[in-house]
Amino acid sequence: MTTPAALQALKVPGTLIVNPTTNPPTDAAPHGGTELGLVKDVRWVRRERSFDITAEEYGSETAEVVYLGEEWEVLFTLRGYDADALSNLFPNIVAETNSATTGITYPDTTRRAGSGYTSSIVSLLFSPEDPYHHAVYFRAAIPMVAEELEVKINRTDRMLIAVGFKAVRDATTAARSVQVRLLEHIEI
């Protein structure tokens, strides 16, 4: 194990990009994709699932733990009303006729209760500004808005939207689903 350096604990500014195309993404952001506007509190989360096998002869102590898989997510807070970001997060985005902005409508015609999210799969890259910090790349990711979304829309608070992307296995290739590597080693 290497000796920790104080510089490794600094903040990691970077950009979230949907559908990057440059392979490897060593050019300037957005690497052929679409930048997701102003974001904060970007983090990747890994959740492992397991099942305990107990030994009754030892008072039901755990004798083995079986790995059942894992989930990966990139979670962040969108700062403001960014049309590119919202069009990737909400299926019901509409272009306003008299302005250059977009709006959200409900109910929409593309997603009904009981329908799957796989029709909205994109690829997602967190591209750090510092080449010595790791990037995070999801080859196939489903955009997710917080199940209970509360957005403050008043004069004293910033408009913040809690959102994320959940990694899923890419059905079209056998390539890695999730990569946490230096940017120059990411395989798009």
Question: Would you kindly state where each structural domain of the chain is located, as residue ranges?
Answer: 10-185
State the pTM of this model: 0.78
Region 10-16: what's the mean pLDDT?
74
> 75 near 45, Cβ under 8 Å?
yes
CA 107 to chain CA mean position, Å: 25
Beta carbons within 8 Å of 100's beta carbon, 6+ residues apart:
none
Of 67-76, 135-144, 173-182, the one with minimum mean pLDDT is 173-182
- pLDDT exceeds 60 at position 10: no
Tokens, residue 147: 């199940």
pLDDT band at 2 (very low <50, low <70, confident <90, very high): low
